[in-house]
Amino acid sequence: MVGSALYRNLKKKKMNLIKVSKDKLDLRIQKDVDQWLGKNKPDIIFLAAARVGGILENNNYPAEFISENLQIQTNVITSAYKKNIRQIIFLGSACIYPISNKPIKENDLLSGRLEPTNRAYSVAKIAGIEMCRSFSEQYGLNYLSVQPNNLYGPKDNFSAKSGHVIPALIKKMYDAKVSNKKKCEIWGSGKPKREFLFVDDLAEALFFILEKYKKIEPINIGSGFEITIHDLALLIKNIIGYNGELIFNEKYPDGVYRKFLDSSKIKNLGWKPKVSIEEGLKLTVEWFLKNKC
């Protein structure tokens, strides 16, 4: 999802792009990464590849989440250094931050405990952030980490079991509608608040950072808008046109009750998101209906 949006955005900027599918290059294999980077020699790497998933997926497969993400980022960052590639933009996640009821600043990193359901993923991403900082400081490189909040959009993982909350809700409600089900179960209480960022806004932000931000300190990217999972589900229900009842099952975990980023650093540089949650959901549902994932 992120890679596709970034590719579309950068293509409009007339940049010379090199892309490779994961069936052609497995970033978990160091020698393959070495060979590919040595052959293609990009000036800049946008490292968006990762093992990702929703709360249950993170909770059920922590070994894969920590090991695969550590492999991917370690291989790419160390190979980039060996091949004298001087600029990387590494995509972290808002999950790296400790549990907090206030807007989370970049310097809150490592200041408290992590949310248990995605701890393995968070630790892997924190390691990637520290790798970027360490290589930049020691070798004079520009390896930067960015921390976007919850992303959604076209080409997301529309799985009711392994997808993040927005694509999972879209899939569940679509299935309930076409099956004429009177009730649709939603995991969790619906009370937690989340900040969502449309993936094309992220792509614009990454290009903006490439041009405007020259420091090695991490930088947050958020929409600045919070919504409860309950209200989010109602929005999706209306867009899908599902007329049944939503049942919130509190036997499933909620995750943290609030995850809201302080994105003042990037906004003070002049960036702001363009796509509202309502517009972004409509675009995402439209893509889903055309592709029936």
The amino acid occupying position 148 is P
Cβ 148 vs Cβ 202: under 8 Å: yes
Q: Is 170 helix (H, G, I), strand (E, B) or coil?
A: helix
CA distance linking residue 7 with residue 106, whole number of Å: 27
Q: Environment class of residue 80 by beta-carbon count within 10 Å: exposed (0-12), middle (13-18) or buried (19+)?
A: buried
Return the residue matching tokens 């309930």. Answer: 176
∠ CA 85-34-208, nearest 5°, is: 35
Pairing of β 44-47 and β 87-91: parallel
The amino acid occupying position 82 is K
Return the residue matching tokens 């889903």. Answer: 288
Kind and range of the H or E run holding 70: helix 62-82
Concerning whether 257 is annotated as a catalytic residue, the answer is: no
Which of these is catalytic: 7, 61, 97, 121?
A: 121
Positions annotated as catalytic residues are: 121
